[in-house]
Amino acid sequence: MTSSEHSSAPEFNSRLERRRAFSTIFKNSCAILSWLCIGVLGFLLVHIFSSGWEWISFDFIKNAPSRMPHKAGLFSALMGTIWIIVTTAAIAIPVGVSSALYLEEYAKKNRLNSFIEINISNLAGVPSIVYGILGLTLFVRFMKLGPSVLSGALTLSLLILPVIIIASREAIKAVPNSIRLSAFALGATQFQTVFHHVLPAAMPGIMTGVILALSRAIGETAPILMVGAVAYVSRAPHGIMDGFTALPIQIYNWAREAKVEFEGLAAGGIIVLLLVLFMMNSVAILIRNKTQKAQS
């Protein structure tokens, strides 16, 4: 049954060789395009590391930003980022996880709750700069919190809230119903069931989602640029009402400078940022893998 004999009834002009060849070409083209993505990532990383590696040093981490490239450092930016992220976490995690618990464990199917759900999906798609506008107007000006760590944290919290809620809901949904039922059967109230049984069971999934949301927040520039840029700050914050700068903002500022050295500094800053993100994501993945193994 080679293609020289007719492989099917005579009415068909199957041209199998041609179709087979086309199939292979198509498959290979798609493969090339996929591997292209890996190539781009490689190019990006190589480019950044080659520019920035020489700038990485202890001084780099220790110093404050400066007009002179060789004296410039990340310290204020790092501290700013840490202050903001910790504050953001303190706000967003309780609110986000509570919202998820409400929607999954308490809410009945009524119009208000559907409305809440729709809102969350919509908010997940709003550009981060719109959150920046909201933060600038509401927190910095209207609530007179000024360009402070608190304003920045509140803004970022609103930004990552939908992410935390969606991820937490998934984690809570994944808790087997049998746990709830057995708790109820033993006479537990809803509060006890949810907070003593469901929440701990969902915790690994929630933590993974939270870490990923926070790592997204660390990289966000536009919202905190809007909030904090009203004041130019070069020192590390000492309280949540202080002005701040942050890692991505510092990178942005350096990238805009004309002097060539600042290009390298920016790359150095990016390396630090990517390392932080890498560590956070690895922790999240580790947690996810550990729980998957424990469950199977």
Partner 1 sequence: MTPVDEAKKTSEKELMNKRPKSTKPESKISSGDKENDLRNAELKGEGVVISYGSDQAVKGVDIAFPSNKITAVIGPSGCGKSTLLRAFNRMNDFILGAKVEGSLMYKDMDLYDKNIDPVEVRLRIGMVFQKPNPFPKTIFKNIAWAPQINGYTGDIAELVETSLKRAALWNEVSDRLHDSALGLSGGQQQRLCIARSLAMKPEVLLMDEPCSALDPVSTSHIEDLMLELKEQYTIVIVTHNMQQAARVSDYTAFMDSGNLVEFDETSTIFTNPKEQRTEDYVSGRFG
Partner 2 sequence: MTEVVAATFRQKTKKSKLIEEGVRCGIFLCALASVLTTFGIILVLAKEAIPFFREVSLVDFLFGTKWNALILPRSFGVLPLLMGTMLIVIGAGLIALPVGLASAIYLSEFASQRVRKTVKPVLEILAGIPTVVYGYFALTGITPILKSFNDEIPVFNALSASIVVAVMILPMVASLCDDALKAVPRSLRDGGYALGSTKTEVSLKIVVPAALSGIVASFVLAFSRAIGETMAVTLAAGGTPKMTLNPLESIQTMTAYIVQVATGDIEHGSISYHSLYAVGGLLFLITLAANLLSYKILKKYREEYE
Choose the stretch contacting partner 2; rule: CB under 8 A; options: 79-87, 135-143, 178-186, 235-243.
135-143
Chosen from partner 2, partner 1, none, partner binding at 83 (C-beta under 5 to 8 Å by type): none
Is 12 or 195 the residue whose CB approaches partner 1 more closely? 12
Q: Is 9 in the site for partner 2 (CB under 8 A)?
A: no
Tokens in use for 171?
């984690």
How far apart, in whole angstroms, are the C-alpha atoms of residue 209 and residue 171?
9
DSSP 147: S
Angle between helices 199-219 and 247-256 (to 10 degrees): 20
Is 20 or 196 the residue whose CB approaches partner 1 more closely? 20
Q: Is 167 in the site for partner 2 (CB under 8 A)?
A: no
CB atoms within 10 A of CB 36: 10
- 150 burial level (CB within 10 Å; 0-12, 13-18, 19+): buried
Q: Is 33 in the site for partner 2 (CB under 8 A)?
A: yes
How far apart, in whole angstroms, are the C-alpha atoms of residue 189 and residue 244?
45
Q: How far is the CB of 10 from partner 2 (least distance, A)?
A: 15
Q: Is 40 in the site for partner 2 (CB under 8 A)?
A: yes
Q: What is the largest CA-CA distance in the chain?
A: 85
Q: Which of residues 196-255 bind partner 2 (CB under 8 A)?
A: 215-216, 218-222, 225-226, 229, 248, 251-252, 255
Report the 3 state secondary structure along 163-184.
Answer: HHHHHHHHHHHCCCHHHHHHHH
Choose the stretch contacting partner 1; rule: CB under 8 A; options: 4-12, 64-72, 98-106, 208-216.
4-12
Choose the stretch contacting partner 1; rule: CB under 8 A; options: 5-13, 146-154, 215-223, 266-274.
5-13
CA separation, residue 139 to residues 112, 150, 152, 213 (Å)? 27, 9, 8, 21
How far apart, in whole angstroms, are the C-alpha atoms of residue 49 and residue 262?
14
Q: Is 4 in the site for partner 1 (CB under 8 A)?
A: no
Q: Which of residues 20-49 bind partner 1 (CB under 8 A)?
A: 20
Chosen from partner 1, partner 2, none, partner binding at 57 (C-beta under 5 to 8 Å by type): none
Q: Is 186 in the site for partner 1 (CB under 8 A)?
A: no
Q: Are 237 and 80 in contact (CB under 8 A)?
A: yes
Q: Is 2 in the site for partner 1 (CB under 8 A)?
A: yes
Q: How far is the CB of 226 from partner 1 (least distance, A)?
A: 47
Positions in the binding site for partner 1 (CB under 8 A): 1-3, 7-9, 11-16, 19-20
